[in-house]
């Protein structure tokens, strides 16, 4: 079998049901060959990543200084919160639970909406995001994990170094293009390929839409600029750091109610801020589950959205772990 044939037939282990995931996984040589090839991204990619991180932070500084001097209005706050909710859920419900784990099914309209909203969080295209995430699950907290906070030295210095690496340092050390071989299933969808290829357009929309709304609501250029800063730059900075906290904080601090082969943790603060993604030990125990907050008090905004969409008939085949599996995996 050639490499391309192998990648076409490869089914990432992360797509299996919770019950199946306990079976020995078929060794996928095609994928592993590419993962072992990990290397530093080219300078242009590192500069792009740096700008994508620094520009939103620069917006945060400018926005704070402006708010200190001239105050804030409900327009900026509403734009910031609504764009945070929409693009954050685009990542959690769309990129993560739909595209990466296929924890529910939906039609082309919802696929497009979730794909565009997730892309507007400016965390890479669908293909790039899903590749990296599936690689994380396959090698979680082991040598080939793209963003594990572990294995960076001992003591406080080692923990801090690991935290920085898992949070954002890995983006300058890992060549994202190489592991796109993780998405053979997504590559078979013309719609997802198009949505993924149009990533630069969604980034542009992510910045211009709040500016246009801010300008139209206030009928002023200042309103457009503040919409760009609060609904665009600052919102992107917050979505970035909350998402990255799942990689860093949720592999360092929190509880581990389920037995998993990694250091994943349930962290209630990230659980709330990241719309349910902070119940990360639950997620590593049952990766295909559409619900991450498995106990009634584990607030999971993304699952509430999926549950509501299912009631409306907009999504279906919502996957949940069987009760007996949850009991047997509990510590």
CB of 270 to Zn ion, least distance (A): 11
Q: Which of 264, 241, 14, 44 is nearest to 131 (CA)?
A: 14
Closer residue to Zn ion, CB minimum distance, 7 or 248:
248
Closer residue to Zn ion, CB minimum distance, 206 or 264:
264
Instruction: In whole angstroms, give the CA distance from residue 193 to residue 115.
Output: 10
Closer residue to Zn ion, CB minimum distance, 100 or 229:
100
Whether the Cβ atoms of residue 282 and residue 271 lie closer than 8 Å to each other:
no
The count of chain residues that interact with Zn ion, using the rule CB under 5 A, is 1
Q: Which 258-297 residues touch Zn ion, going by CB under 5 A?
A: 264
CB of 13 to Zn ion, least distance (A): 12
Whether the Cβ atoms of residue 305 and residue 98 lie closer than 8 Å to each other:
no
Closer residue to Zn ion, CB minimum distance, 245 or 264:
264
Closer residue to Zn ion, CB minimum distance, 95 or 230:
95
What letter would DSSP give residue 182? G
* Placement of tokens 């049901």 in the chain: 17
From 16-24, 54-62, 81-89, 257-265, give the range in contact with Zn ion by CB under 5 A. 257-265
CB of 256 to Zn ion, least distance (A): 12
Closer residue to Zn ion, CB minimum distance, 132 or 213:
132
Phi, psi of 159 (to 5 degrees): -65, -45
Q: Which 199-228 residues touch Zn ion, going by CB under 5 A?
A: none
Whether the Cβ atoms of residue 198 and residue 118 lie closer than 8 Å to each other:
no
CB of 5 to Zn ion, least distance (A): 27
CB of 141 to Zn ion, least distance (A): 8
Helices 43-70 and 235-248 cross at an angle (nearest 10°) of: 120
Q: Hey, what are 84's tokens? A: 């945070």
Q: List, in order, residues 6 or more apart from 153 with CB less than 8 Å away.
A: 161, 162
Rg (CA), the chain: 20
CB of 14 to Zn ion, least distance (A): 7
Give the footprint of Zn ion on this chain (CB under 5 A). 264
């Amino acid at each position: 079998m050639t490499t391309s044939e192998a990648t076409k037939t490869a089914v990432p282990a992360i797509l299996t049901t919770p019950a199946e995931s306990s079976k020995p996984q078929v060794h996928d040589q095609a994928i592993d060959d590419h993962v072992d090839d990990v290397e530093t991204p080219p300078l242009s990619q590192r500069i792009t990543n740096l700008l994508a991180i620094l520009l939103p932070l620069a917006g945060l500084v400018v926005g704070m200084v402006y708010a200190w001097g001239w105050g804030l209005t409900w327009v900026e706050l509403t734009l910031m919160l609504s764009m945070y909710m929409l693009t954050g859920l685009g990542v959690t419900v769309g990129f993560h639970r739909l595209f990466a784990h296929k924890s529910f099914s939906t039609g082309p309209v919802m696929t497009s909406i979730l794909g565009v909203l997730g892309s507007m969080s400016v965390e890479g295209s669908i293909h790039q995001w899903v590749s990296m995430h599936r690689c994380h699950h396959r090698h979680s907290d082991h040598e080939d994990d793209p963003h594990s906070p572990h294995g960076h030295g001992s003591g406080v210095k080692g923990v801090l170094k690991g935290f920085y690496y898992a949070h954002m340092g890995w983006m300058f050390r890992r060549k994202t293009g190489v592991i796109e071989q993780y998405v053979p299933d997504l590559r078979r969808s013309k719609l997802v390929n198009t949505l993924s290829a149009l990533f630069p357009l969604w980034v542009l929309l992510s910045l211009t839409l709040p500016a246009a709304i801010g300008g139209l609501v206030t009928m002023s250029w200042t309103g457009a600029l503040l919409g760009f800063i609060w609904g665009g730059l600052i919102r992107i900075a917050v979505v970035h750091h909350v998402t990255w906290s799942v990689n860093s904080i949720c592999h360092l601090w929190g509880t581990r109610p389920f037995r998993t082969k990694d250091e994943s943790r349930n962290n209630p603060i990230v659980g709330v801020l990241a719309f349910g993604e902070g119940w990360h030990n639950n997620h590593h125990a049952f990766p295909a589950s559409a619900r991450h907050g498995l106990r009634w008090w584990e607030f999971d905004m993304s699952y509430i959205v999926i549950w509501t969409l299912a009631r409306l008939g907009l999504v279906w085949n919502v996957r949940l772990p069987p009760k007996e599996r949850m009991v047997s995996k509990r510590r």
